[in-house]
Amino acid sequence: MADTINTFIGLSASHWLGYVLTALIHCALLLHVVAVGALVFIWMERKIAGRIQDRLGPTRVGGRFGWLQTLADGLKLITKEDLIPAEADRMLFKLAPYVAFMASFCAYLALPFADGWVGQHVNTAVFFVLAVLGLEVFGVILAGYASGSKWSLFGAIREAAQVVSYEVPLGLCVVVPVFICGTMNLVTIANKQAGLFTNWMVFHDPFTFTIFWVYFTCATASVNRAPFDLAEAESELVAGFHTEYSGLRWSFFFMAEYGSMFLVSGLATILFFGGWHGPFPIFGAEMLGWAYAPGASEWALSGYLANLAGCLNFVLKAVVGVTVMIWVRWTFPRLRIDQVITTCLKYCVPIAAICFLGALAWEALDIPSPNDLDLMTSQPKSTVRENWVIPARKLSSENKTTSHQPAPTTAASQQDPAANTAMATGPQDGPRSGRPGGDL
Amino acid sequence: MLLATFSWHEFFFMLFAILACGFAVGVLLSTNIVRMAFYLVISLGSTAGLFYLAGAEFVGAMQLMIYVGGTLVLLIFGVMLTAQQRFISLKSYGRDWVLGLAVGGSLLLLLLNAAFGVADWYTPRPKTSLAVDQSKTATPLGLALAGVRADKLETRHQDEEKDKRLKGGMSGYLLPFVIVSVHLLVVLIGAAYMARTKRVAPKAEPASEGKPD
- Dihedral of the alpha carbons of A130, A133, A135, A140, in degrees to the nearest 10: -140
Q: Does B156 touch chain A (CB under 8 A)?
A: yes
Q: Which amino acid, A26? A: H
Minimum Cα–Cα distance from B8: chain A residue = A16
State how far residue A431 is from chain B, nearest Cα, in angstroms: 6
Chain A residues 111-140 with a CB less than 8 Å from chain B: 121-124, 127-128, 130-132, 134-135, 137-138
Report the candidate in B56, B57, B141, B136 with the shortest Cα–Cα distance to residue A387. B136
Confidence label for A61 from pLDDT (cuts 50, 70 and 90): confident
Q: Does B32 touch chain A (CB under 8 A)?
A: yes
Q: Do B136 and A431 touch (CB under 8 A)?
A: yes
Distance CA A157, CA A148 (A): 13
Hey, CA dihedral for A354, A357, A359, A362, is it positive or negative? negative
From-to residues of CATH 1.20.120.1200 in chain B: 8-95
Residue B22 clears pLDDT 90, i.e. is over it? yes
Residue A390 clears pLDDT 50, i.e. is over it? no
State how far residue B87 is from chain A, nearest Cα, in angstroms: 15
SS3 B89: strand
Q: Do B154 and A434 touch (CB under 8 A)?
A: yes
Q: Do B38 and A417 touch (CB under 8 A)?
A: no
Average pLDDT of chain A to the nearest whole number = 77
Among candidates A145, A427, A437 on the partner chain, residue whose Cβ is nearest the Cβ of B125: A437
Of A9-23, A282-296, A425-439, the poorest mean pLDDT is in A425-439
DSSP designation for B133: T
Q: Across the strands, what pairs with A114? A: A117
Among candidates B73, B126, B128 on the partner chain, residue whose Cβ is nearest the Cβ of A164: B73
Are A318 and A262 a contacting pair, CB within 8 Å?
yes
Among candidates B8, B76, B77 on the partner chain, residue whose Cβ is nearest the Cβ of A19: B8
Residue A380 clears pLDDT 70, i.e. is over it? no
DSSP annotation string for B145-212: HHT--HHHHS---S-HHHHHHHHSS---SHHHHHHHHHHHHHHHHHHHHHHSPPPPPPPPPPPP----
Q: What is the pLDDT of residues A127-185, one digit of tens each?
A: 888 888 888 888 888 888 888 778 888 888 888 778 878 888 888 899 899 888 878 88
Which helix (H) or strand (E) element contains residue B85? none
When pLDDT is averaged across residues B128-154 and rounded to a whole number, the result is 62
Are A221 and A340 a contacting pair, CB within 8 Å?
yes
SS3 B52: helix
Report the candidate in A353, A337, A31 with the shortest Cα–Cα distance to residue A175. A353
More confident residue, B77 or B53: B53
How many CB atoms are closer than 10 A to CB A176?
29
Are B52 and B60 a contacting pair, CB within 8 Å?
yes
Distance CA A132, CA A113 (A): 18
Distance CA A155, CA A251 (A): 18
DSSP designation for B213: -
Q: Do A138 and B3 touch (CB under 8 A)?
A: no
Among candidates B126, B134, B140 on the partner chain, residue whose Cβ is nearest the Cβ of A408: B126
Residue A231: the pLDDT is 74
Report the candidate in B94, B44, B43 with the shortest Cα–Cα distance to residue B65. B44
Minimum Cα–Cα distance from A421: chain B residue = B156
State how far residue B129 is from chain A, nearest Cα, in angstroms: 6
ipTM metric: 0.73
Q: Which residues of A touch B135 (CB under 8 A)?
A: 123, 431
Distance CA B32, CA A148 (A): 14
Question: Mapped to the 3 state alphabet, what secondary structure does chain A carry?
Answer: CHHHHHHHHCCCCCCHHHHHHHHHHHHHHHHHHHHHHHHHHHHHHHHHHHHHCCCCCCCCCCCCCCCCHHHHHHHHHHHCCCCCCCCCCHHHHHHHHHHHHHHHHHHHHHCCCECCECCCCCCCHHHHHHHHHCCHHHHHHHHHHHCCCHHHHHHHHHHHHHHHHHHHHHHHHHHHHHHHHCCCCHHHHHHCCCCCHHHCHHHCCHHHHHHHHHHHHHHHHHCCCCCCCCCCCHHHHCCHHHCCCCHHHHHHHHHHHHHHHHHHHHHHHHHHCCCCCCCCCCCCCCCCCCCCCCCCCCCCHHHHHHHHHHHHHHHHHHHHHHHHHHHHHCCCCCCCHHHHHHHHHHHHHHHHHHHHHHHHHHHHCCCCCHHHHCCCCCCCHHHCCCCCCCCHHHHHHHHHHCCCCCCCCHHHHHHCHHHHHHHHHCCCCCCCCCCCCCCC
Confidence label for B127 from pLDDT (cuts 50, 70 and 90): low
Largest CA distance in chain A: 79
Report the candidate in A156, A118, A149 with the shortest Cα–Cα distance to residue A232. A156
Q: Do A413 and B120 touch (CB under 8 A)?
A: no
Q: Which residues of A touch B134 (CB under 8 A)?
A: 389-390, 427, 430
Minimum Cα–Cα distance from B60: chain A residue = A128
DSSP designation for B83: -
Q: Which residues of B touch A405 (CB under 8 A)?
A: 7, 9, 127, 129-130
Return the percentage of chain A with pLDDT > 90, whole number. 8
Residue A241 CA: distances (Å) to CA of A100, A218, A235, A321, B121: 12, 21, 13, 25, 48
Phi, psi of B168 (to 5 degrees): -65, 155
Residue A295 clears pLDDT 80, i.e. is over it? no
Residue A214 clears pLDDT 80, i.e. is over it? yes
More confident residue, A404 or B99: B99
Hey, CA dihedral for A425, A428, A432, A436, is it positive or negative? positive
Q: Does B125 touch chain A (CB under 8 A)?
A: yes
Distance CA B176, CA B184 (A): 12
Of A148-157, A194-203, B119-128, the poorest mean pLDDT is in B119-128
DSSP designation for B88: S
Report the candidate in A44, A24, A125 with the shortest Cα–Cα distance to residue A323. A44
More confident residue, B102 or B57: B102
Q: Does domain B8-95 have CATH number 1.10.260.40?
A: no
Return the percentage of chain A with pLDDT > 70, whole number. 78
Are A190 and A274 a contacting pair, CB within 8 Å?
yes
Q: Do B73 and A434 touch (CB under 8 A)?
A: no
Residue A389: the pLDDT is 40
